[in-house]
A and B are shown apart, each in its own frame.
Chain A
Amino acid sequence: MKHNFRNWPVLLVLFIFSLPLLIMLTFLVVDTFTTKVPGTLVPNAFTLHHFRFLWTDLDDGRWGIYGVTLNTFIFAASTAAVVTAISVMAGYALSRLSFPARGFFLGSLIVLHAFPTVTLIIAIFLILQILGLYNTLIGVIIVKTALELPFGIWVMKGFYDTVPWEIEMAGVQDGASRFTVWWKLILPQVQPGLMAILIFSFLSGWSEFVLPMVLNPGTDAQVLSTYLATLLLDTNTNSDFNLISAVGLFYALPVVIIYLIFQNKLMNIYGGGTKG
């Protein structure tokens, strides 16, 4: 392939700026699989000892890693599912239907999207306590979903806006109900947006830390991010940074894999809309 500009200078600059990150990542990976003599930088032996959490319970009798992972998965997956389902419908309504206060909804979407959510956390905390959802996974899922929704709806609205109005009218004219038109004709065309929202909100749920930490601090339904945090603070393990790195790697792995598989789909969010 021929480019109309040379790209190696760009690559070089990017490489130099990414170098610190690359070095850190390399050390993260290397450290978790090796042992070394304290005070040196070069590892001296290969070991899987740091990954022992995968096959034995840790000494303090807390939940095994798989329970926590399952929690994280439930948290991320249900957030993603609900966010996607609602965004797909609300985005359509905002893009196509004229209903009272449509402008107000559009405006508040942008405001909510830009709103620093941490400032809401005290209020949310109180509400969850009143509702009895404090310290439950459900509570965090609800809050996370609500906070992700503005972005999802906004992106989906953008995708719907690119679908020509005539296609919908053609469908109605062909005798299909409004629902059939939406389901069979419109939804397939915003599918890239749907996929992007699904993956994006899953990843966002997977890596969420503040909400579970504040709203679900107990150990009954921990997620990986808070599990990792407690490991850091825990006196039993606090010297074992290699164990913590290994858990971190385990935690980050799905994110990396999902990114690798779906990177094209995720880029759609910024490209907006489809071709052909």
Chain B
Amino acid sequence: MRISITNFTKTFGDTTVIKDMSLEIESGEMLALLGPSGCGKSTTLFSICGIHRMNAGRLRFGDKDVTKRPPQERNVGVVFQNYALYPHMDVHANIAFPLKVRKEPRAEIDRKVLEIAALVHIEELLQRKPSQLSGGQQQRVALARALVRKPDILLLDEPLANLDAKLRLEMRSEIRRIQQQTGITAVLVTHDQVEAMSMCDRIALMNKGDIVQVCKPKEMYDNPASDFVAGFLGNPPIAFLDGIANDGEIRLANSEVALRLPSNVIDLSNGTQLRLGIRPEFFQPENDMKVTGKVSFVETQGREDLFDVTLTNGAVLRSIQSRGGDIKLGDEVTWGISREHILAFGPGGERL
């Protein structure tokens, strides 16, 4: 079911957490709400499901205006970060609870519980108490409980945050599989860009209560709307060079180094403040626009090596290369930037 949020504002006491936010989530789509800690992701999520009341704005599910509806009437399934399983009930009772509340007949309840348990692969755990389950299993139970009454919308608040690295990988694809199999509209809150990029159809990137950009993961990576977006996506992160435009070149701050600007911003007027973003994969030995600097940091990541190169003016460029060369800390290197892959930002951080 389609979710549309218009001009949503949320305040706690005197602090405004979300201001005038609008967001459309398509039916059947899985959208990630991505952003740094404290930017209002959970607040948005809890407003969608009705736990928080919206101070202003409208929320519609399909054509239905649910802004003023209590959570019980919204038919939204929520998976909480700590799963919030009912500790005194066994798994079967946990999953059955939403159905029991609706006073469905017993046989019907049992049938649905078994069906959903099969979907999330926990058939053999139904008699256990939550405390007898591993983190991943609890996660599956929480998913089953959220999905069992066929909600219109599924909301997940950092569902993978409490799992270890290997399990996270597994549950990532599991949640995606279940979402696609049920065709449910889902919103996933996360501060992990990899999670957002790998699991979701689209990403809404938030900063300080605002949505900065909404689009497909790849597009957001290739075409960030601002330096904040560019800096948030990508691991190892993008490196920035500050400088001033001068005859189709950029003169880096505090140095004599000048670099040709990418062709889309080549005719900037002289004296414009500029910020260039260069991703590590586009700073490589074989590229043609050379800069010289000292290797100030080396990290071996197994398949690849990560280098920080400090330029003469103190700015740092990052490079990621498949293993091979024997470059050591302190070596002077002259590597090239791929000119057409440079991202240029204006003084306010907006994309040029």
How many residues of chain A are within 8 Å of chain B by beta carbon? 18
Q: Mark B120-140, 1 if CB is under 8 A from A, else 0.
A: 000000000101000000000
- In the complex, the chain B residue whose C-beta lies closest to that of A274 is B87
Q: Which of B80, B88, B145 interacts with A166 by CB under 8 Å?
A: B80
| C-alpha gap A185/B149 in the complex (Å) | 18
| C-alpha gap A174/B89 in the complex (Å) | 15
Of A49-57, A175-183, A196-204, the segment with at least 4 beta carbons within 8 Å of chain B is A175-183
User: Which of A164, A174, A176, A180 has the most chain B CB atoms closer than 10 A to its own CB?
Assistant: A174
A229 nearest CB across to chain B (Å):
45
Question: Do B129 and A276 touch (CB < 8 A)?
Answer: yes
Question: Do B87 and A174 touch (CB < 8 A)?
Answer: no
Given contacts A166-B80, A180-B101, A276-B129, contact A173 B86 (CB under 8 A): no
Q: Is A172 an interface residue (CB 8 A)?
A: yes
| C-alpha gap A170/B149 in the complex (Å) | 14
Question: Do B88 and A189 touch (CB < 8 A)?
Answer: yes
Question: Do B77 and A173 touch (CB < 8 A)?
Answer: yes
Q: Is B265 an interface residue (CB 8 A)?
A: no
Q: Mark B80-115, 1 if CB is under 8 A from A, else 0.
A: 111010111000000001100110000000000000
Question: Do A173 and B129 touch (CB < 8 A)?
Answer: no
List the B side residues contacting A173 at CB < 8 Å: 49-51, 71-72, 76-78, 146
How many residues of chain B are within 8 Å of chain A by beta carbon? 25
List the B side residues contacting A166 at CB < 8 Å: 80-82, 84
Question: Do A167 and B84 touch (CB < 8 A)?
Answer: yes
Q: Is A146 an interface residue (CB 8 A)?
A: no
Question: Do A169 and B80 touch (CB < 8 A)?
Answer: yes
| C-alpha gap A256/B172 in the complex (Å) | 57
A132 nearest CB across to chain B (Å):
46
Given contacts A164-B82, A164-B84, A276-B87, contact A175 B77 (CB under 8 A): no
| C-alpha gap A184/B149 in the complex (Å) | 19
| C-alpha gap A188/B94 in the complex (Å) | 14
| C-alpha gap A124/B338 in the complex (Å) | 88
| C-alpha gap A171/B94 in the complex (Å) | 10
List the A side residues contacting B86 at CB < 8 Å: 167, 170-171, 185
Question: Do A175 and B98 touch (CB < 8 A)?
Answer: yes
Given contacts A169-B51, A189-B87, contact A176 B72 (CB under 8 A): yes
Given contacts A189-B88, A276-B87, contact A174 B80 (CB under 8 A): no
- In the complex, the chain A residue whose C-beta lies closest to that of B71 is A172
A91 nearest CB across to chain B (Å):
18
List the B side residues contacting A185 at CB < 8 Å: 86
- In the complex, the chain B residue whose C-beta lies closest to that of A275 is B131
A122 nearest CB across to chain B (Å):
45
B33 nearest CB across to chain A (Å):
18
Question: Do A174 and B98 touch (CB < 8 A)?
Answer: yes
| C-alpha gap A177/B73 in the complex (Å) | 10
- In the complex, the chain A residue whose C-beta lies closest to that of B157 is A166
- In the complex, the chain B residue whose C-beta lies closest to that of A172 is B71
List the B side residues contacting A177 at CB < 8 Å: 72
| Interface set, chain A 132-182, CB cutoff 8 A to B | 164, 166-167, 169-177, 180
Q: Mark B17-54, 1 if CB is under 8 A from A, else 0.
A: 00000000000000000000000000000100111000
A180 nearest CB across to chain B (Å):
7
Question: Do A188 and B88 touch (CB < 8 A)?
Answer: yes
Question: Do A276 and B131 touch (CB < 8 A)?
Answer: yes
| C-alpha gap A175/B84 in the complex (Å) | 15
Question: Do B82 and A172 touch (CB < 8 A)?
Answer: no
Q: Mark B137-166, 1 if CB is under 8 A from A, else 0.
A: 000000001100100000000000000000
| C-alpha gap A120/B145 in the complex (Å) | 53
A193 nearest CB across to chain B (Å):
14
List the A side residues contacting B50 at CB < 8 Å: 172-173
Question: Do B51 and A172 touch (CB < 8 A)?
Answer: yes
List the A side residues contacting B81 at CB < 8 Å: 166
| Interface set, chain A 2-32, CB cutoff 8 A to B | none
B242 nearest CB across to chain A (Å):
44
- In the complex, the chain A residue whose C-beta lies closest to that of B98 is A174
Q: Which of A169, A174, A276 interacts with B101 by CB under 8 Å?
A: A174
Question: Do B72 and A170 touch (CB < 8 A)?
Answer: no
Q: Which of B84, B102, B129 interacts with A170 by CB under 8 Å?
A: B84
| C-alpha gap A173/B309 in the complex (Å) | 51
| C-alpha gap A176/B49 in the complex (Å) | 14
| C-alpha gap A180/B129 in the complex (Å) | 21
List the A side residues contacting B97 at CB < 8 Å: 171, 174, 176, 184
| C-alpha gap A232/B287 in the complex (Å) | 105
Question: Do B72 and A172 touch (CB < 8 A)?
Answer: yes
A sample of 22 cross-chain residue pairs with beta-carbon separation below 8 angstroms, ordered by A number, consists of: A164-B84, A169-B51, A169-B78, A169-B80, A170-B145, A172-B50, A172-B71, A173-B50, A173-B77, A173-B78, A174-B97, A174-B98, A174-B149, A175-B72, A175-B101, A175-B102, A177-B72, A180-B101, A185-B86, A189-B87, A189-B88, A276-B87
Apart from the given pairs A166-B84, A174-B101, 8 other A-B contacts in the complex at a CB distance below 8 Å = A169-B84, A170-B145, A172-B71, A173-B49, A173-B76, A176-B72, A185-B86, A276-B129
Closest 6 CB pairs of A and B: A166-B84, A174-B98, A276-B131, A170-B84, A166-B80, A188-B88
